[in-house]
Every structure is written in structure tokens, then in C-alpha cells.
Structure 1
Amino acid sequence: MTRRLRRIAPLAFVLCPLAAATPAAAQDSATATALFDRGLADMEAGRYETGCKAIAESHRIEPKPGALFTLAICESRWGHVATAFAHFGDYLALHEQLTPEQKVRQGERPKVAKQEREKLAPLVPELALSLPPGAPAGTVVKRDGRVVDGAALGVSVPVDPGEHVVSTQAPGGPVQEARIQLAHGEKKRMELQVSGAAAPSADGTSSRRTAVFAAGGIGVAGLVLGGVTGALTLGKKSVVREHCGSRIGLSDETACDKTGMEAADSASTTGLVSTIGFGVGLAGLGAAAVLYLTEPKQSDTTAHATSRGIRAGVLAAGPDGVVLGASGAW
């Protein structure tokens, strides 16, 4: 290789990538120009939806101050006052970064942008979204299909007037959707609703809690059944006493008339059911107590939650019936 070629070779390695990139850049610029021209034509014809979207895409492909300014004008005419207000602000911030020569080429645009922002400011609606107290951790909030950052919840933010769709979804729960209408300059606060419980955590807390409820429910049902059938048994025994032995003139205390025999048979059946009911009830409440007392400790955020428990049973029993009781807090 000659000395001249050796000097040219390194320069070629630098220029070749630039040369290769030039057609692509030129193509992007042509695409951006075509989109801008089409968007401008649609905007002037009042087709703001297609016009603004085309101008926005043009600015995305090839960011230019003029395209951003025109996009702000389009959004303003479309009625998207919050979006237009933001775009005018972005244009003014960008204008400050231009060189003196570039600023001259912008002409009256900065002045117009400032005037438009002043006109739009009182027309911009604001919306503050918040979750209800006790909403499950990890609940996702969306506004018009976009996720709302947790830091923005409870904060009044500018939005365009018109209808907005907001939704919430707890981990493992269904999506709950709501719609809200905002007029120009209106400010609203909205506490969202959350449906469904959180998905089971890593330590199985939710599944354990379900088991506690199930066992407790079976226990209460068992005690109620035992109490009711026990009361019936006591009632039947009083009938037996009235229709057996000396009460009906017989010396054999085990001898009964027809009514006494029927009552004795019925008392035997209800007595057995009562015994089984109390057994199931006590076993169910015992299992619920064990599950509850051995549940892993909750995190600090729920450490001060209201104490929970359940008590149920027969408070009193006698020949005339029984008194049942059940109380609890969950």
C-alpha cells in the first residue's frame, strides 16, 4: 500500500458509516415532512384528530421547534386545552435553547405561544385520583388506558376536558371501571373503588385466612345445630315425664303411653344430633383458633389492625329451651 493510500484508509473507515447513514436520515426527514404537510392540511380542514396525530408523529421522527409549535396550535383547536398548554410550554423551553440565528427564524412564534398559554391556563381542568383507605398494595390505577404512577395519586393534575375512563385492579382481582366528565376549568377529586381482595402473599396469609373463616363458620353452624336440637331434646324429655310411670298411674317408671313412647324415641334422635352438632362445632372453632393463632405475623403496616376473634356457644339451657350466642370481629 502506498503512503497516500495509507493516509486515506483511516479516513474512509470514518466516512463510510456516515455515508451509509445519510440515506436513512434523508428518508426519515422526507417521511417527517410528508406527515407534517398532511397533518397541516387536515388541521386547516378541521380534521383535527388525524391532523394532530400526523403532526405529532412528524415531530417524533424529526423533532423541530416549528412542528412542536404547530402541534400545540392543532391540539388547542381540537379542544385539548391541557395538552396544548403543555406543548406551548415545551416549545418555549426549547426556544430558550436555540442559537440566536435559530431564534430569529422562529419569528413571532414565542410571542404567540406565551399569549396562547395565558388564554388556556384558566380553561385547563384538573383531576385528582385517590384510592380508598385499606386498598390492597399493588393496586393498579389507569386513566384513559395509561397507568397512573403511585406518586401522582391524590395530586391534582391537568387533563383535557371531556370524558375520562379511570380503572382500578387489585392484584388477582377484577378490573373496576368508572367514567368522569370534566368541563373547561373544572377541578374534581375522585376516590376510586377497588373490587376483589389481594392475591395470596408468599406466606399463604390469604389462603390461611380463608381456612379460618371456613372452619369458624362450620364451628358456629355446628353449635347452632347442637343448641337447637338440644332444646328439642329437653322439650321431649318433659313430655316423657308427663306420659310415663306414676304420672299416668303406673308403678313402672319406664312404662309410657303412646305419646310418651313417641316423645322418648324423638328425644333419642334429637339428642344424638345435638351431641354430634356440638362436637362438630367445637372441633370447627378449635381448628379456626389454631389456624388464627399460628398465622404468621403481619407486616408493620397492618400490625395495629383491630383484634379479631369469634365466640359462639350455648349460653344457657333448661327445660324450657336454650339461649344461644355468637359474637366476633374480623
Structure 2
Amino acid sequence: MLSGLLSIAVAAPASAQPDAVALAESLFNRGLADMLAGRHQAGCPALAESHRLDPRPGRLFTLAECEAQWGRIATAVARYNDFLALYSRMSEAEKLQQRERHRIALEQRDALTPLVPQLTLSLPSDAPPGTIVQRDGITLQQPSLGIPLPVNPGEHVVTTRAPGGPVREVRFTIDRSESKTIELEVELPADEPPPVNAQAPGAQVGATGAFGARPAAAPDTGPGGQRVLAYVAGGLAASALIFGSVTGLMALDESGVAADDCEDDPDRPGVATCRSAVGKAAGDRAKDLGLASTIGFGAGGALAGAAVLLLLTEPSPPRPQQTGRVGQVGEVRWSLLAAPTGGGVVVRGRW
């Protein structure tokens, strides 16, 4: 029964290119064969790549089953939850096709969730800012530290590295239903010698300091507030334009599905008659996605114009003033010049 569910092809609108669909189908068949033969280490990655190239409910469900059989129960629970979330957004006709898979996904998710190990990683309080923590090659940001997170049973590798310091590695194993807390160690970089304030050749130190030293450069205060707002508006504009493009493409796909299933009613202009609920649902989604795309492009254009306006109207930064040393009038530089025929003193001044 289960193998039959795994091998059933699910009718769904293909959003990928034809070549990608054919490649995804080939990977799915190979991954399914490896999975049924118990070769999960080869089968599950093939199924995951198949679903990435051409996402379909059946491929997602089969991938969840493969991960569960492989023993990667934390990943399996996440995949089952993805399938259940996708099922909740389906039309009634689509849910009818996926009903048995929905039942199995619920049972598997509820049975595996209590068995998922929980791992808590904590940094010491004196860890310097910018310390990098990676678990199995995945970088964990600060919100992921100090709280229990689900992991797959088995061996794991955690590395920590302070800015400029060496990498510290910890290897451990964790079993099903186990909760483990690991206090990580951070090795700080070796102390560096303080920089030597070398004087320029010919500089002499007097009672009030070193003549010939250049005034310290004014510190870089970074971009002004108006430029920061321009950067923020530009980033939001790019996000809105991307959103408009993606929803526009999705609307075109849904419109194609509706066009194949629905026809204009000759007795009622502007009203389409659909042969099934799938076509009507696709038409409704196409309208909603089209509206979202229009809003995205409109907001992106407005934000882009605001970003350009902020950059054009930004006031020029004030020019730094040259100041001399306390107790001096102007600036005096002098140096000793030596030559085979004699020597001399060169004095340059500015008052």
C-alpha cells in the first residue's frame, strides 16, 4: 500500500522548465528505487533534488518517508510538516487525491516528534562579538544559541571561532529522545604587540612635541542619516520589485491552468465556465496573484524614486579644518639635508 502511494504520479501544474521536469522525474524514479532497496544515503538526496527541481506534493511526501526510514527523524518531521502545510492550501479536488498521504503524514509526524533529540549550544559569557558557531557546517546565529533545537540522532560536529582566533571543534553523539546541553569553548587570538609609533626620518622632538608630524586625519563618521534612509529605501524597492516579478510569473502559470479548464460563457460576457473546481481555483488565484504583482511593482517604483531623491538631495559633508598644535602659531617643518659636498637646513613654514 505504501509503495503504491509513493510511486503514484500526482497531477499538478508544472512550473519548471521541460528539461528540469524530465530531470526531476528521472531523479525521483532513481531515488525511489534506492529508497525501496534500503539505500537511503543515495536515495534521499536524489529525492530532495527532484523536489527542488519540480516541487510536487507526491515528491515531498516520498522525501519525508525516505528521511524517516533513514533515521533522520528531525528532518523527516520537518518534511511531514511541509507536506501538511501544503495540503492545507490545496483545493478540495486536490485534497481528495492526497487524502491517504495526509493521513499517513499526520500519523508519522505525531509518532516521530517525541523521539526527536533536542540540542542546546551555549557560548561563554566572555565570548567576543563576532564569534562564529557552526553545527555540521551550518552557521548558527545568536537567536539559535542557548535554546533547545531539534537535531537528527547520531554524530555531530560543532566548531567555534573567535575573530582572528583558531577553530575549536567538538564531536559528540546524541540518541533518540535525548536532550543535551553543550557549553562551547572559544579560544581567543594571541596578544599582538602594540604598534610602534615610528617617526619620519629627520623629525626632531622639541619641548612641545614632534615638529614635522602631520595632523591626525579626521575620523570617518560613515554615511549620514539621509544616505542610510536612501539605502534602506533602495533595498525595500528591490524586494518589492522581486516580489512583483515572482507573483506575476505565478499569476501567468495559474492563468494558463484556468485557460485550459475554463471557457467564456457566450450568454454572460466576462463570465467563464469551468469544467472542474481546479480550473476555478486557478482562476481565482491568478486574480489574487495579479493584484499582488501590481502592488509590488507600484511599491517598488515608489521606493526606488524615494531612494534616488534622498541621494540627490543629500547635503555635502563639512570640510575638515586644519588645526595646529597647542602653543604654536602655524606649522613649522624642518629637516637636515646631507650631501657629499656639505649640508644644510631646510625650513618650511605656514602661518
- Say whether residues 1:111 and 2:103 are aligned partners: yes
- The structure in which a higher percent of residues are helix is 1
The equivalent residue for 1:285 is none
From 138, 150, 164, the counterpart of 1:146: 138
Question: Among the aligned pairs, what percent are the same residue?
Answer: 50
Count of residues in Structure 1 that have an aligned counterpart in Structure 2: 183
Which aligned runs of 4 or more in structure 1 are off by greater than 2 angstroms?
none
Residue type of the partner of 2:170? A
- Say whether residues 1:61 and 2:53 are aligned partners: yes
Distance in structure 2 (CA, Å) of the matches to 1:76 and 1:155? 25
Residue type of the partner of 1:186? E
What's the C-alpha RMSD, in Å, of the aligned pairs?
2.0
Residue by residue over 1:208-242, the C-alpha shift from the partner in whole angstroms, topping out at 9 and shown as x without a partner, is: 4x99xxxxxxxxxxxxxxxxxxxxxxxxxxxxxxx
Distance 1:24 1:93, change over 3 A: closer
User: Residue 121 of structure 1: CA displacement?
Assistant: 1.2
User: Residue 100 of structure 1: CA displacement?
Assistant: 1.2
Distance in structure 2 (CA, Å) of the matches to 1:182 and 1:23? 40
Map 1:94-243; keep pairs closer than 5 Å.
Answer: 94-197=86-189, 208=194
Distance in structure 1 (CA, Å) of the matches to 2:15 and 2:50? 18
Distance 1:24 1:149, change over 3 A: closer
Q: Structure 2: 5+ residue runs without aligned partners?
A: 1-13, 197-351
**Matched residue SS, 2:17:** helix
Distance 1:23 1:105, change over 3 A: closer
User: Residue 35 of structure 1: CA displacement?
Assistant: 0.4
Residue by residue over 1:11-54, the C-alpha shift from the partner in whole angstroms, topping out at 9 and shown as x without a partner, is: xxxxxxxxxxx998111111110000000000000000110000
The equivalent residue for 1:43 is 35
Larger Rg: 1
User: Residue 107 of structure 1: CA displacement?
Assistant: 3.2
TM-score (norm 2): 0.50
Residue type of the partner of 1:77? Q
Distance in structure 1 (CA, Å) of the matches to 2:175 and 2:157? 15
Q: Structure 1: 5+ residue runs without aligned partners?
A: 1-21, 201-205, 212-330
Distance in structure 2 (CA, Å) of the matches to 1:107 and 1:117? 15
